[in-house]
Amino acid sequence: MTAAAASANVASAARPRRRPRVRNVGPRAFLVLLILFLFAPLFVVVLFSFNATASLSFPIPGFSLRWYDKVLDDREVVAALGRSAIAAFITGIAGGAIGILAALGIQGLPPRWKGAVQTVVLIPIATPALLLGIGIAIYFNRLGIKPPRLPMAIAGHVLLALPFVLLTMTAALERFRFSLLEAARDLGASRARAFWTITFPLVLPAVLGAALLAAAVSIDEFIIAFFNTGSDGTLPLVIYSRIRRVIDPGLNALATILLVATTLLAVLAARTTTARR
Amino acid sequence: MAGGSGRPLTAGVRAERGRLLVSIAQLTPALAYFALFYVGPLLVLVYISFLTFRNFQFVEPLSFNNYANVVTSETFRVLFSRTVLLSLLSAVLAIAIAYPFTYIITFVFPGRSRSLYFLILVALFGGYLVRIYAWRTILGVEGVINGTLMTLGVIEEPIREILNGPFAVVVSMVNFLVPLAVLPIYAAMQNVSPGVIEAARDLGSSRLQVTRRVILPLVLPGVLVAFAFCFIAAAGDFAIPALLGGVESPFIGNQIQFQIGQTSNWPLAAAMATTLIALVVLIVAGVALVARRVIR
């Protein structure tokens, strides 16, 4: 095909499509603006984390990785990264395990109770994190449990993660064909065998997704960690304590690291739980 | 079910009962966890709020003194009203953005609704504090907007008013709340069939009428849940007002944090937190009541 023919082709293909495109200009513009509103601020932080100088204005004179070097040499940051990773890991495992059991339990309830239980599990999302944070702090204090305090924050993170885990898990379980399970039992499979050959592989991706979601909630969580971990803080706490100081370009790198960690977990979680229907 | 022939029925009932027991067993860890780490802490918090703070100790007798302090103090009243007003505004704005978004991805571009919803999920779980920091970077005196405007020569002096005030608080609050509002509204919108909308349009309803008479009544529960989530999250926040509100616009959360961090007055902080949740619940219930009356 010659270039002229190709461009004529493109033109004729474009013409009939113009009308519907014009029709939805409003909605399209709205979507673009909203996505910009949601993601542009994050993009700005990422962009300036690669800035060669310390200034925070456009145009950017050049790019470098110096702020990452600086931040990763920082002991406080590395320690906080470790604590965040531990908290996320434990929240993922605990939240995923408790959540999958509870989701299976909800699945087996009579319809009348199902709705009520599904509403009750949302309560932690509808409780200000501030209340949970200070509640958990004073609770452990009254129980006479003193530092290490990271476990207190983790206890709160699991609580916050459970509603999200249950929401995604129950939605996923609704889509499964549990008739397969009955068929296997009817054909003489033992309860254990039916579980391992049918339920387990069916549920596994959703469980993984839910665990990743719980980990994402933990890594991103600030308020509960603030009231419980104190000076042995997680990554968001380090960022919070440094924000008020004079402009520190290293913060952009730090924020980007946190952002990449949460986004990665969130993307993986959203993909594993929404991918198949 | 009653009055069937004996044996299969009892077997069925027994199987059902067995299933229920399994369900309860499966729910036990979650319920225990809930009791230990949710109900327990909140009960302790309420108990503490009745204690007396003396010489950095919390001691009995139990009294309503902390609550009296919270209710009568002029400072606290200002904090409570600012918290409620700015949180209401933020929640309403978040819904005003989330609702059309959900409508558009469900009915205008249904083919792309999945990937757009996915983006919202990513936004929801990605970067609470990073977002706040980003808005500080953007709106600050030495921030992106001021820096760029000054480089371009549009302004000589940085504009100080854009950061450290209610404006910055509401903008970043809405930014953080929109994904939270989308979740329940999206779930509710999936129950509206496009056929119903088309039918209403064919019968001569305007777009506005369709929204008001057909869609809104159907998605109202979702919108109300979204309102509750957003309003509660905003009213209980302290990081956004602390980092973007400057000295003029602290929330009650900042005062609670101050009482705990600076004076260790846990009983007073607990009373403020309990008052806050009571106020929030009342307002959410009131809004739900009014909305149910108006929209049907």
C-alpha closest to that of B39 among A136, A67, A39: A136
pLDDT bin (cut points 50, 70, 90) of residue A30 is very high
For B226, name the nearest residue in chain A, comparing CA atoms only: A126
Looking at domain A71-274, which CATH architecture does it have?
Orthogonal Bundle (1.10)
Give the mutation candidate from B133, B190, B232 for the A interface (greatest A CB count, under 10 A): B133
- Chain B residues touching residue A38 (CB < 8 angstroms): 119-120, 123, 175, 178-179
- Chain B residues touching residue A132 (CB < 8 angstroms): 38, 41
Asked whether the predicted pLDDT for residue B2 surpasses 50, the reply is no
Strand, coil or helix: what is A63?
strand
Neighbour-count burial of A60, counting CB atoms closer than 10 A to its CB (0-12 exposed, 13-18 middle, 19+ buried): middle
C-alpha closest to that of B268 among B42, B38, B48: B48
Neighbour-count burial of A86, counting CB atoms closer than 10 A to its CB (0-12 exposed, 13-18 middle, 19+ buried): middle
Across the strands, what pairs with A51?
A63
The total of other beta-carbon atoms located within 10 Å of residue A263's CB is 20
User: Which ranges constitute the DSSP H helices of chain B?
Assistant: 6-34, 40-49, 65-72, 74-103, 113-125, 128-139, 144-151, 166-189, 194-202, 207-209, 216-235, 239-244, 252-261, 266-294
The answer for A 61-120 residues in CB contact with B (under 8 A) is: 97-99, 101-102, 104-110, 117
The total of other beta-carbon atoms located within 10 Å of residue B236's CB is 25
Asked whether the predicted pLDDT for residue A9 surpasses 60, the reply is no
Q: Can you tell me the mean pLDDT for B167-194?
A: 90
| CB-CB under 8 Å, A251 with B151 | no
- Name the residue facing B130 among A56, A129, A255 (closest C-beta): A255
Q: What's residue A104's pLDDT?
A: 86
Q: Can you tell me the mean pLDDT for B141-162?
A: 79
C-alpha closest to that of A133 among A149, A150, A148, A153: A153
- Name the residue facing A57 among B42, B130, B147 (closest C-beta): B147
Asked whether the predicted pLDDT for residue A114 surpasses 50, the reply is yes
The answer for residues whose C-beta is within 8 angstroms of residue A74's C-beta and 6 or more apart is: A250
Alpha-carbon distance of A86 to A89, in angstroms, equals: 5
| CB-CB under 8 Å, A227 with B228 | no
Give the mutation candidate from B19, B130, B263 for the A interface (greatest A CB count, under 10 A): B130
Strand, coil or helix: what is B182?
helix
What crossing angle do the helices spanning A250-274 and A235-243 adopt, rounded to 10°? Answer: 140
Interface check for A263 against chain B (CB to CB < 8 A): the answer is yes
| CB-CB under 8 Å, A34 with B124 | no
Looking at domain B73-294, which of 2.40.10.10, 3.40.50.1100, 1.10.3720.10, 3.40.640.10 is its CATH number?
A: 1.10.3720.10
Q: What's residue A274's pLDDT?
A: 62
Q: What percent of chain A has pLDDT over 90?
A: 21
Asked whether the predicted pLDDT for residue B72 surpasses 80, the reply is yes
Give the domain ranges of chain A: 3-49, 71-274
Give the domain ranges of chain B: 73-294
| CB-CB under 8 Å, B26 with A105 | yes
Alpha-carbon distance of A256 to A48, in angstroms, equals: 10
Across the strands, what pairs with B59?
B52
pLDDT bin (cut points 50, 70, 90) of residue B230 is very high
- Chain B residues touching residue A274 (CB < 8 angstroms): 114, 117-118, 121
The total of other beta-carbon atoms located within 10 Å of residue B29's CB is 16
Residues A164-193 have pLDDT tens digits of 888 888 877 777 766 777 787 788 788 778
| CB-CB under 8 Å, A105 with B30 | yes
CA distances (Å), B93 to each of B31, B160, B223, B243, B279, in order?
A: 35, 24, 12, 21, 20
Alpha-carbon distance of B121 to B115, in angstroms, equals: 10
| CB-CB under 8 Å, B20 with A108 | yes
| CB-CB under 8 Å, A217 with B127 | no
- Chain B residues touching residue A48 (CB < 8 angstroms): 137, 144
pLDDT bin (cut points 50, 70, 90) of residue B108 is confident
Do A253 and A242 touch, CB atoms closer than 8 A?
no
What letter represents residue B107's amino acid? F
Residues A115-169 have pLDDT tens digits of 788 778 888 888 888 999 999 988 888 887 765 678 889 999 999 999 888 888 8
Alpha-carbon gap: A185 to the closest alpha carbon of chain B (Å): 13
- Chain B residues touching residue A139 (CB < 8 angstroms): 37, 40-41, 44-45
- Chain A residues touching residue B154 (CB < 8 angstroms): none
pLDDT bin (cut points 50, 70, 90) of residue A82 is very high
- Name the residue facing B97 among A34, A123, A125 (closest C-beta): A34
pLDDT bin (cut points 50, 70, 90) of residue B4 is very low
Least confident of A209-213, B43-47, B62-66: B62-66
Q: Can you tell me the mean pLDDT for B223-245?
A: 91
Q: What's residue A125's pLDDT?
A: 83
Q: Can you tell me the mean pLDDT for B217-231?
A: 91
Q: What's residue A87's pLDDT?
A: 94
The answer for A 7-26 residues in CB contact with B (under 8 A) is: 24
* End-to-end Cα separation, chain B, in angstroms: 37
| CB-CB under 8 Å, B239 with A240 | yes
- Chain B residues touching residue A101 (CB < 8 angstroms): 26-27, 29-30
- Chain B residues touching residue A107 (CB < 8 angstroms): 23
| CB-CB under 8 Å, A270 with B118 | yes
Neighbour-count burial of B101, counting CB atoms closer than 10 A to its CB (0-12 exposed, 13-18 middle, 19+ buried): buried
